[in-house]
Amino acid sequence: MMWPELGHMAMILATLLALLLVLVPLFPTLFPARIARVLALSHAGCVLLAFAVLLKSFYDNDFSVLLVANNSHSLLPWYYRLTATWGNHEGSMLLWALVLSLWMALVAIGVRSQTEQFVSRVLGIMGSIAIGFGLFILLTSSPFERVLPDVPVNGADLNPLLQDFAMIVHPPTLYMGYVGLCVAFAFALAALWEGRLDASWAKHVRPWVLAAWSFLTIGIALGSWWAYYELGWGGWWFWDPVENASLIPWLVATALLHSLAVTERRDAFRGWTLLLAILAFALSLLGTFLVRSGVLTSVHAFAADPSRGLFILVFLGIVIGGALLVYALRAAALVKPVRFAALSRETLLLVNNVLLLVAAATVLLGTLFPLLMDALGQGRYSVGPPYFNLAVGPVLLFVVALLAIAPVVRWQSTASGVFIRSLRLPLVALLLLVPVLAYVLPAHDRLAAIAGVLLSAWVWVIVVQALWQRWRSSARMHPRFLSMLVAHTGVAVTLFGVVMVGLYGEARDIRLAPKETYALGAYSFYLESIGSRTGPNYQAVVGKVLLIEGNDVRAELYPEKRHYRSGGKPMTEAAILPGLMRDVYVVLGEPLDGEAWSLRVQVKPAIRWIWIGAAIMALGGMLGIWAKRRTDSGRAP
Amino acid sequence: MKSLWRFLPVGVFVLLAVFLYLGLGRDAEHIDSPLLEKPLPVFALPDLSDPDRLRTQEDFKGAATLLNVWATWCISCRVEHPFLVRIAREQGVRIVGLNYKDDGTAATTWLQERGDPYAFTIVDADGRLGLDLGVYGAPETYLLDAHGVIRYKHVGVIDERVWVDILQPQWKRWQSPGGQP
């Protein structure tokens, strides 16, 4: 059957449609602006068809398709065969294009309140990105390439690391976030193009940014969670270039959200907002470049492909360079000065914006530093977690300290008397908390832990106070205010997890023979036996470890070491006893002399809070979208 | 003057793009070893399978050899290993292993589990020879001619493509004891 060729044709057609889409706003006399919506929807249909064809090739084990032969296997369960579609370079680029086309379709359907000309410009700008990705896929990374006439009998299999639930949902979620920022980018450029920007512009962009930001938050958290349980090291963040590539746009998108709030409510920070809208998407494109070109990832981890890298770099140069140039030339016409007092929500948000940008720039610098040094002929460097923790950590802690007081600072100006009075109660609550913490927390690192927990509590108590006041005065709480409280609470929850795991996480590499015990803190690990197990496509060595607390067996843990049938790489499968206040984490290492094995045992206090906090942040983001819809449907804020 | 500030982002970006372009040119296969075209440094290090036996630069003379730097902690080495086994078995390529900053027991187990493509393996537990060679990390492979002179260096995984396109021609070129093209 000629399905892959059909997919290839669909992709060519999609790219041509994107080209037409760009022409519509450029030649308004030739094309009616309304046609842009139809073109965007047809483009999305074509990309969807191409993607569906690739899914089908993977599902059908069509090993005549090179990509399937390289990344799948007939023994793979059907759901992993489907997810193998994006577990590789070509497929993930097609997924990128698909997600972009979906966002374009959403804009085509969803944006009703702007003029047709504005919508056609937004879609045209998004279309130019779609052309870039379409050409990239067709010219350098075609997923539909065949291996003919010698069709392999079977495939080389999907990397076992990717045979996992979180891997099914992580990339699509992350891409929804990455690519979703394109909407704000296109809105910003379209506004610069029109030379017109009003408060309703900000109001209409915000839900798009909120949606993209929420997806990005969830996507990053899923990646962190996956790394935690699948990679077997028990860490939740590694400052790996790929992780940084997603964190940088997240930080900038966070700044953008807050800047947009000011533009919407006070019609200020217009220049900032436009710049951040461009930067947020620019940095997610840059992230794609860094990850996909192999320019950054160490030469040992990735096959560098200069032709792909050059293509993306030229594309980046046109898109980002062009957008920033347009900004430089045209932003002046849109900016107007707005006055506000030193103690006001505007100031707070400005400081927050600057700090978030500093954090983003610091991460970017650390990520690119080895490359810069190499290009300057200064030799090879690697920048590790100590730099990032030291340089980025304090900035983010400062952001948290500031975001805590957001509920008590008003727009325009806040009387300092009122400000101090509203912080009195929270400060007293924190003071009362100190002796409790000093009693509860373990002795080592107690000061740092108290400081960290207090910072988290600082957010909590002000949120609780804000809720209490609204409830007492039975004032109607605007959903937007609620969404802010929820998202900020999420940050506090994550911070608590980070502090606890960072200061009180324990890890030991031990040697254990069957019937031996190792004690770590309140727990004892008793290795009962080493056995084996057969899975659907792997053979596993399984340890049976009894987790003993006091005199009771708390749990039976079964860490595994899997040998997948199709590949020679053994995979460790950690055994985790999850808990809200602590995880116990056991990994089976290598066989040692005699019956003994090396094991890595870890106790991770409150690590789940990190991801729960991220989920709460995303929930806050979604509440924000809902808030916008509510205010749209009639009532004034 | 004030509006000039608006050109700052695009300026920074142009600078960044230049660096990224230079980074692209940084081809993994062309990283020079300080020792290219020079004989292997003098060393005496134990053999993995027989720690009492010392291996020296003299063991490289007589035939073209690939000196492959590997370790059990190196994830990419797991990818590379089956291919090395294949070319050693099927094409008779002489490969010597340099077990770099590794645990001897783990290394032995690794070779038992995955097959041993190496004529012998040198144990460089503290990375001294690696330092002399200018090793960036593992895997890394040096091609030595029949006189023990380093003729080529490849950083990263050797796979089918790298072998056929780059290393195999070099290997054939330096294989004969007369050794000149």
Which tens digits make up the pLDDT trace of A442-466? 888 889 999 999 999 999 999 999 8
Least confident of A22-26, A591-595, B159-163: A591-595
DSSP A73-117: -TTS-HHHHHHGGGSSHHHHHHHHHHHHHHHHHHHHHH--SS-HH
Task: For residue A19, give its domain range.
Answer: 1-158
Residue A328 reports pLDDT greater than 70: yes
Best of B24, B76, B78, B79 to substitute, by most chain A Cβ atoms within 10 angstroms, is: B24
Task: Specify if A562 maps to a domain.
Answer: yes
Mean pLDDT over residues A308-319, rounded?
A: 84
Q: Is the dihedral of CA B89, B93, B94, B95 positive or negative?
A: negative
Give one word for A541, left, alpha or beta, with left for phi > 0 and alpha for psi -120 to 50: beta
Q: How confident is the model at residue B76 (pLDDT cuts 50, 70, 90)?
A: confident
Task: Specify if B15 maps to a domain.
Answer: no
Task: Specify if A564 maps to a domain.
Answer: yes
**Single pTM value for the model:** 0.80
Task: Specify if B10 maps to a domain.
Answer: no
Phi, psi of B127 (to 5 degrees): 80, 20
Task: Specify if A398 maps to a domain.
Answer: no
Task: Specify if B30 maps to a domain.
Answer: no
Task: Specify if A118 maps to a domain.
Answer: yes
Mean pLDDT over residues A617-623, rounded?
A: 95
Please say which residue of A158, A190, A218 terminates a domain: A158
pLDDT of residue A81: 87
Task: Specify if B19 maps to a domain.
Answer: no
Domains of chain A: total: 2
Task: Kindly state the tokens that stand for B120.
Answer: 């012998």
Cβ A586 vs Cβ A574: under 8 Å:
yes
Tens of pLDDT, residue by residue over B151-160, are: 888 877 888 8
Mean pLDDT over residues A345-355, rounded?
A: 92
Please say which residue of A158, A175, A196 terminates a domain: A158
Residue A568 reports pLDDT greater than 60: no
CB contact under 8 A, A317 and B3: no
Tens of pLDDT, residue by residue over B117-139, are: 999 999 988 777 877 777 766 78
Task: Specify if B104 maps to a domain.
Answer: yes
Mean pLDDT over residues A482-500, rounded?
A: 94
Task: Specify if B169 maps to a domain.
Answer: yes
More confident residue, A10 or A89: A10
More confident residue, A371 or A589: A589
Domains of chain B: total: 1
Task: Specify if A238 maps to a domain.
Answer: no
Task: Specify if B146 maps to a domain.
Answer: yes
Share of chain A above pLDDT 90, in %: 46
pLDDT of residue A282: 94
Task: Specify if A141 maps to a domain.
Answer: yes
Tens of pLDDT, residue by residue over A120-168, are: 999 999 999 999 999 989 988 888 888 776 677 777 777 776 777 777 8
pLDDT of residue B74: 73
Contacting residues for A406 by C-beta, under 8 A, at least 6 apart: A345, A348, A484, A488
Q: Which of B21, B79, B138 sits opposite A313 (nearest CB)?
A: B21
Task: For residue B122, give its domain range.
Answer: 39-173
CB contact under 8 A, A324 and B10: yes
Pairing of strands B95-100, B118-124: parallel
Cβ B146 vs Cβ B83: under 8 Å:
no
- The enclosing domain of B57 has a CATH number of 3.40.30.10
pLDDT of residue B176: 62
SS3 A528: strand
A361: closest chain B residue by CA: B12
Task: Specify if B110 maps to a domain.
Answer: yes
pLDDT of residue A255: 96
Task: Kindly state the tokens that stand for A321.
Answer: 């360079």
Mean pLDDT over residues A284-311, rounded?
A: 62
Of A370, A352, A350, A348, nearest to A360 by C-alpha is A352
User: What's the rounded Cα separation, in Å, for the pair B15 and B8?
Assistant: 11
Q: Which of B7, B26, B156 sits opposite A374 (nearest CB)?
A: B26
The mean pLDDT value of chain A amounts to 87
Please say which residue of A91, A123, A158 terminates a domain: A158
Q: Which residues of B touch A (CB under 8 A)?
A: 3, 6-7, 9-10, 13-14, 16-17, 19-28, 31, 74-76, 78-79, 81-82, 105-106, 109, 114, 136-139, 155-157, 159
Residue A299 reports pLDDT greater than 50: no
Amino acid A137 reads I
